[in-house]
Amino acid sequence: MSNTKVLPLVEPETAVEPCCPPLAERPFSAEEAERTAKMFKALGDPVRLRLFSAVAAHADGEACVCDISDVGVSQPTVSHHLKKLKEAGLLSSERRGTWVYYRVEPSVVAAMGRLLTAAAG
């Protein structure tokens, strides 16, 4: 095998499902809304949105914390927000030596996008 890439194998506590049923098909149930709202809430903070955007815009689709931590808040706060994004399933992380790298979770983000696109019409 030529590819030595190591899969994270992290398995976030609650397996983040593909995401969400279509938004305009039928009214959300309380449970569906509870689950889906967490993802939107994760992006509903300016600092988290900047961090997420910084990761998404970074080359190779991943970014070290040290590369994106200049968003005007302290370093513990950056770590706190990255954890939130990870819990929401939008980011995944992997430690390689000294640094920790974060990357966008494409399937979850794409599902959120489809959810909105469907609602628009």
Q: Is 40 in the site for DNA (CB under 7 A)?
A: no
* Residue 95 vs residues 22, 37, 54, 70: alpha-carbon distances, Å: 35, 29, 18, 20
Q: Is 121 in the site for DNA (CB under 7 A)?
A: no
Q: Is 53 in the site for DNA (CB under 7 A)?
A: no
Q: Is 36 in the site for a second copy (CB under 8 A)?
A: yes
DSSP string of 81-98? HHHHHHHTTSEEEEEETT
Q: Is 10 in the site for a second copy (CB under 8 A)?
A: no
- Smallest separation, CB 35 to a second copy (Å): 9
Encoded tokens for 75: 């370093």
Please choose, out of 2-10, 29-37, 74-82, 93-101, the segment that lies near a second copy by the rule CB under 8 A.
29-37
Helix (H) / strand (E) element for 101: namely strand 99-104
Encoded tokens for 111: 């599902």
Q: Is 102 in the site for a second copy (CB under 8 A)?
A: no
Q: Which residues pair with 94 in a beta bridge?
A: 101
Instruction: Give the interface with a second copy as residue ranges (CB under 8 A).
Output: 23-30, 33-34, 36-38, 40-50, 52-54, 56-57, 61, 68, 71-72, 104, 106-107, 109-110, 112-117, 119-121
